[in-house]
Chain A
Amino acid sequence: MGELGTNHLLGIKNISKDDIQLIFETADHFKEVINRPIKKVPSLRDVTIANLFFENSTRTRLSFELAEKRLSADVVNFSAASSSVKKGETLIDTVNNILAMKVDMVVMRHPNPGAGVFLSKHVNASIVNAGDGAHEHPTQALLDAYSIREKLGDVKGKNIVIVGDILHSRVALSNIFCLQKLGAKVKVCGPNTLMPKHIRSLGVEVEFDLKKALEWCDVANMLRVQNERMSTRYFPSTREYVAQYGLDKEKLNQLSKEIVIMHPGPINRGVEISSDVADSNHSIILHQVENGVAIRMAVLYLLASKMKHYKN
């Protein structure tokens, strides 16, 4: 204990429970740091980090950038929309050119699954996956589990249901790995058309009835319907989706207990979750966002501590 077992954070699947616990303990300290009058520490002042976003993002990108700046790292930003990628440059060329400018770490979001893994094998820098296609989004899973731990005391033994568009969701996959490693029971819930074919092989149960799923769970993580990734229609109409899988006050009030509501953002208000639920005190959505900065500071700090720049 004390050091991460990995030089990159590419996904939750390949990191250990000890790594997750270490990230959480470190994040506890950074959460205290970001609530100080002066929220900055000098740890990473000689580290340069490139944020490469080949896909749109608001929260994750801002959160990483804030985390980097609060650790005093130098930050360069890159987004595919305004870059030479449009001129046909390959991923390795883009990244190697950026590394030639002496960058130590790369935070990357990419539409293709496995882009982070591919990069980690070809370039000499620490890689943090900020979402790769429908594959993994490890920091989101870490901050979700961290928020559950903060709200309920522990993740172990808790029942967590992930609701909605499981098929297109990297958040769902990383969450399943993370929560299971920490000893939680996980169910997924959503229309059959939005269930990956082999989801049960991960050891999760599939529930098609939202009411039953909510009655079973301690925490419901409501995922966004990812219209931009849908090439065909997966359900008859938005209205029908809302009726069956949208979470509103009425469905919550029918439950015999109180549950915690989460959402990784961005919210389609009135689709997967109604406004009154999203803004209610059951919801820890904004805590997730705050914890996101602390978790990302912890990840970057722990990865940087393995670089040992100055060792002979």
Chain B
Amino acid sequence: MGKRILLNAEEINIILNRLACQLIEKHDDFKDTAIIGIQPRGVYLSDRLEKLITADYGLKKADFGKLDITFFRDDFMRGNKVLKANKTDINFIVEDKNVVLVDDVLYTGRSIRSALTAIQSFGRPRSIELLTLIDRRFSRHLPIQPDYKGRQVDAINDERVIVSWKENDGEDAVYIIQDNNG
């Protein structure tokens, strides 16, 4: 199994600051903005952005939430993997809000497709944008592209991109792992 590092902690920090600034540039004081992390792994990224935007940049008007997409996925009853749900935490109405969906890796686009449906259960947003730390281009199954992206990667299909977060995995890093399948 080959493992190489794509981003280290310092590079991730720079990227997070840039992404936060890009959001501020577009969303001004965040009065009508809701930033929503997709469960499970997008939530670490949205939590970091929340800290940057509210604490470091002092902009406190945005709503932050977590969205679980398990019951909206399109692979139910199609595989061996059991889909285990996570907590959804959206205690505001998204009606007429500018929603920013946040996930760590954009790969096939199917999770985002599910999230686009799931978010409708909380109202009709004025707009929806997508922010991802890693954009694996050339591997999309659906016509979905990020509006804000940390780093674009041309990983091939038997490679996996793993994003580690200090809170959960002990370090901030992004790895590309090559599975040894003969």
Chain A residues with a Cβ under 8 A of chain B: 2-3, 25-26, 29, 32-33, 36-44, 46-47, 71, 301, 304-305, 307-311
Q: Give min CB distance, A249 to chain B, whole Å.
A: 37
Residues of B within 8 A of A304 (CB): 76-77
Residues of B within 8 A of A33 (CB): 71, 88, 121
Given contacts A38-B122, A41-B118, 18 further A-B contacts (CB under 8 A): A2-B84, A29-B68, A29-B87, A32-B87, A33-B121, A36-B121, A38-B120, A40-B121, A41-B71, A41-B121, A43-B71, A43-B76, A47-B77, A305-B76, A305-B77, A305-B83, A307-B77, A310-B78
With both beta carbons as reference points, the residue of chain B lying nearest to A29 in the complex is identified as: B85
Cβ contact within 8 Å between B79 and A26: no
Cβ contact within 8 Å between A38 and B121: yes
Residues of A within 8 A of B71 (CB): 29, 33, 41-43, 71, 301
Chain B residues with a Cβ under 8 A of chain A: 68, 70-72, 76-80, 82-88, 93, 117-118, 120-123
Q: Give min CB distance, A193 to chain B, whole Å.
A: 46
Residues of B within 8 A of A29 (CB): 68, 70-71, 85-88
Mostly, the A contact residues are loop
Which among A26, A36, A71, A309 is the interface contact of B85 at CB below 8 angstroms?
A26
Cβ contact within 8 Å between B79 and A311: yes
Q: Give min CB distance, A16 to chain B, whole Å.
A: 16
- Given A37-B123, A311-B78, answer yes or no on A42-B72 (Cβ-Cβ < 8 Å): yes
Q: Give min CB distance, B87 to chain A, whole Å.
A: 7
A114 to B24 alpha-carbon distance, docked (Å): 64
- Enumerate the 10 nearest inter-chain pairs by beta-carbon distance, A residue then B residue, closest first: A41-B71, A38-B121, A29-B85, A2-B82, A310-B78, A43-B71, A309-B77, A3-B82, A36-B121, A43-B76
Q: Give min CB distance, A194 to chain B, whole Å.
A: 41
Which among B70, B77, B117, B118 is the interface contact of A310 at CB below 8 angstroms?
B77
- Given A36-B121, A41-B72, A43-B76, answer yes or no on A305-B88 (Cβ-Cβ < 8 Å): no
Cβ contact within 8 Å between B87 and A305: no
A47 to B79 alpha-carbon distance, docked (Å): 16
Residues of A within 8 A of B82 (CB): 2-3, 305
